[in-house]
């Protein structure tokens, strides 16, 4: 029997017989690992342990100790939900039921459910878990699979025609009387689902398209242990209190009124003050790393988007309009505009790299059902950067970008993970170009000694990318900054420079964003800090609380001194008691309060109170101001004057 080689996570190659499955590979590594195998990953994709491997595959073995085990567990919990639902409502139709970062969901139709029905379904799920049914993979021919759903379930037929169009053998998973079309993977039996909870019901559209059928989506979660579930539910309640939509209203940061249209936020003065600070932080880094700012219009003729490839790949998500019989489109990305600016000049190899930056507003026509506060909007601003470089400059430039991203995420105390995202199914460019681009980014990551995951098929349509996913104070993961390598757009726009040999050469285009988008990053910061922004970000940094009107003159002199150092200061001059003024400032999450009464005016001092309810009297205003400047400029996370 001929041998093939697979690549293990540490980069070593392992020879195995042709036709081996992931579990076979695990047994080759060791009998204990083979026995413990639950699933595996091939080229970054989580798959069933019985999936065959091919020569050159990068593989990982998943056990119950792996990070991915919970995804497998939750996928099985989705099947347990579906089985319980059909026992109670045999007229229900199932569509899809994947795992998610927080649990799972199943989209269903042909049955009316409300929140009150979830308890009964949970009880039936518990019965199925207690019965500990084996979860077994079985396969059918395409004709047999189609026959199961023909005239019964058009959604499953649609899956067969799209996702499994080229598969001659179709996989199903069975547990007792329940069977579902599914690629897996799953745990061995229903009894391995230790703890679960159905969370809520919402609506969705089939395949996310609002032109399609409206479905009922049941959300749930599952864990290995009850204690983990309890911790999750407590954190979920905390997340409700930190919800950026709730805090955005309470702190007067932003609004999305119906009159503006869905997904089109309005930023109030408090919110814009924070965004301004984020912009200035980015500008300082861009200046340090040699970027020049440019500006592109919001609207372009669609000829540009056809040239760049965005029209073919994004037309369904673009806002298009007709002007004098010409088609125009609101820009979904900034990069074609930057490529056009580059193309207006002649370049020598000595000019490289050329670095452009723009805080550019872009527009994506997301489905209305997907819009949610600032997390997904129609109009958002990317802190965009594009580098035009010679091929030998790629590693240096990508390293610099990764240093910039690291500085951003460390400043906000956000832990992060890194992943290499490779060619998606819908892409432009030759195989050779993609292989070259992926190898370049992989080399950068390997040379940096940075741990990273492989996200097969998650690259941009024009090139692979390095993605940074960060974790907030509640342990939730968010997509954030990115670095993308692009050999395609320079080809499409015929970008050239004159090399040392006096011949034309093609530059490489590197896309990067330090925040990802201001809207998404702002949303995360609101919830990460629970509205208690660091001093340098806080929309109101100091509030002066005069005990009576007699101290207003002194309060204004203090305010002027603070504003001379560019602090954002307000005076609470309403006829309230001091206690009420303090409570209001605490509610507004103001970092510092300066309390002034007769004693402070006479001594020329202040009483300083912070939002942690710590207080110090008889403070010299100049001493307070000096330390306040240091705290702001060092971008400390919490008020530190009273430490």
Return the half-sphere exposure (C-beta side, CA atoms, 13 A cut-off) of residue 166: 0
Is 160:149 a contact under the CB 8 Å cutoff? Answer: yes
**Of 331, 337, 330, which is closest to residue 358 (Cα–Cα)?**
337
Q: How far apart are CA 34 and CA 28, in angstroms?
A: 8
What is the three-class DSSP state of 327?
strand
**Is 182 annotated as contributing to ligand binding?**
no
* Residue matched to tokens 């007229």: 91
222: β partners: 196
DSSP string, 166-235: T-SEEEEEEETTEEEE------SBGGG--EEEEEEEEEEEGGG-TTS-EEEEEEEEEESSHHHHHHHHHH
Is the distance from CB of 305 to CB of 575 less than 8 angstroms? no
Reduce the DSSP state of residue 78 to 3 states and report it: helix
Is the CB of residue 150 less than 8 Å from the CB of residue 158?
no
The C-alpha atoms of residue 364 and residue 317 are separated, in whole angstroms, by: 5
User: Kind of pairing, strands 299-301 and 326-330?
Assistant: antiparallel
Edge to edge, what strands does the sheet with 326-330 contain? 299-301, 326-330, 320-323
- Structure-token pair, residue 398: 């990508």
Partners of 3 in beta bridges: 17
Rounded to 10 deg, the angle between the 552-564 and 621-633 helix axes is 40
| Both tokens assigned to 93 | 């139709």
Give first-to-last CA distance, the chain, whole Å.
71
> Crossing angle of helices 154-162/142-149, nearest 10°?
160
Exposure string (b/e) for 430-461, b if CB count within 10 Å is 16 or more? eeebbebbbebbbebbeebeeebbbbbebbbb
> Element (H or E) spanning 292, and its range?
strand 292-293
> Could you tell me the two tokens for 592?
């510092």
**Paired strand residues for 512:** 385, 483
- From the CA atom positions of the chain, what is the Rg in Å? 29
40-44 contacts, C-beta under 8 A, 24 or more apart: 40/185, 41/68, 41/454, 42/456, 43/422, 43/454, 43/456, 44/419, 44/422, 44/453, 44/454, 44/455, 44/456
- Structure-token pair, residue 228: 């983990």
- Calculate ∠ Cα 498-501-502, nearest 5°: 45
Give the pair of three-digit tokens for residue 186. Answer: 């799953």
Q: Which SS3 state, helix, strand or coil, does residue 602 take?
A: helix
Task: Specify the 3-state DSSP secondary structure of 609.
Answer: strand
Binding site residues, as ranges?
Answer: 335, 386, 511
Binding site residues for Zn(2+), as ranges?
Answer: 335, 386, 511
């Amino acid at each position: 029997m001929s041998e093939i080689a697979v690549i293990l996570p540490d980069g070593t190659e392992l020879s195995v017989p042709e036709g081996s499955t992931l579990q076979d590979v695990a047994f080759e590594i060791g009998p204990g690992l083979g026995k413990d195998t639950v699933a595996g990953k091939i080229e970054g994709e989580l798959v069933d342990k019985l999936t065959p491997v091919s020569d050159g595959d990068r593989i990982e073995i998943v056990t119950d100790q792996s990070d991915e085990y919970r995804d497998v567990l939750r996928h099985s919990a989705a099947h347990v939900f579906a089985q319980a639902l059909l026992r109670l409502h045999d007229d229900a139709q199932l569509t899809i039921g994947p795992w998610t970062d927080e649990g799972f969901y199943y989209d269903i139709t042909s049955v009316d459910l409300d929140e009150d029905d979830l308890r009964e379904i949970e009880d039936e799920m518990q019965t199925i878990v207690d019965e500990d049914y084996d979860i077994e993979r079985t396969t059918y021919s395409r004709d047999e699979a189609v026959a199961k759903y023909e005239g019964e379930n058009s959604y499953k037929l649609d899956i067969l025609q799209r996702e499994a169009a080229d598969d001659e053998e179709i996989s199903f998973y069975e547990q007792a009387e329940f069977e579902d079309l599914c690629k897996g993977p799953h745990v061995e039996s229903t009894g391995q689902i230790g703890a679960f909870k159905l969370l809520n019901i919402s609506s969705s559209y089939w395949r996310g398209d609002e032109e399609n059928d409206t479905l009922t989506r049941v959300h749930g979660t599952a864990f290995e242990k009850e204690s983990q579930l309890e911790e999750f539910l407590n954190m979920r309640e905390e997340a409700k209190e930190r919800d950026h939509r709730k805090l955005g209203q309470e702190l007067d940061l932003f609004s999305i009124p119906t009159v503006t249209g869905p997904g089109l936020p309005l930023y109030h003065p408090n919110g814009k003050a924070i965004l301004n600070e984020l912009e200035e932080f980015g500008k300082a880094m861009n200046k340090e790393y040699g970027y020049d700012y440019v500006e592109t219009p919001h609207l372009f003729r669609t000829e540009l988007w056809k040239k760049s490839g965005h029209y073919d790949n994004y037309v369904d998500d673009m806002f298009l309009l007709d002007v004098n019989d010409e088609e125009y489109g609101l820009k979904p990305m900034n990069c074609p505009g930057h490529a056009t600016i580059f193309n207006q000049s002649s370049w020598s190899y000595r000019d490289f790299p050329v670095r452009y930056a723009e805080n550019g507003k872009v527009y994506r026509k997301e489905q209305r059902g997907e819009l949610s506060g600032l997390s997904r909007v129609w109009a958002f601003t990317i802190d965009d950067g594009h580098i035009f470089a010679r091929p030998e400059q790629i590693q240096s430039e990508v390293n610099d970008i990764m240093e910039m991203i690291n500085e951003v995420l460390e400043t906000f105390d956000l832990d992060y993970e890194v992943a290499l995202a490779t060619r998606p199914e819908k892409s432009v460019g030759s195989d050779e170009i993609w292989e070259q681009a992926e190898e370049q980014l992989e080399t950068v990551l390997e040379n940096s000694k940075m741990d990273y995951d492989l996200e097969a098929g998650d690259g941009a349509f024009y090139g692979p990318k390095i993605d940074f996913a960060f974790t907030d104070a509640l342990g939730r993961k968010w997509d954030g900054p990115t670095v993308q390598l692009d050999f395609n757009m320079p080809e499409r726009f015929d970008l050239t420079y004159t090399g040392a040999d006096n011949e034309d050469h093609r530059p490489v285009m590197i896309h990067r964003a330090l925040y990802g988008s201001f809207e998404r990053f702002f949303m995360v910061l609101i919830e990460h800090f629970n509205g208690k922004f660091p001093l340098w970000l806080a929309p109101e940094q100091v509030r002066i609380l005069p005990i009576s009107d007699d101290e207003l003159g002194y309060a204004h002199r203090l305010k002027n001194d603070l504003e001379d150092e560019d602090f954002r200061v307000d005076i609470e001059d309403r006829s309230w008691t001091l206690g009420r003024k303090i409570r209001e400032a605490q509610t507004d999450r103001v970092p510092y309060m300066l309390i002034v009464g007769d004693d402070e005016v006479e001594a020329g001092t202040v009483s300083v109170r912070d939002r942690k309810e710590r207080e110090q009297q008889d403070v010299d205003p100049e001493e307070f101001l000096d330390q306040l400047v240091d705290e702001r400029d060092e971008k400390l996370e919490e008020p530190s004057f009273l430490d």
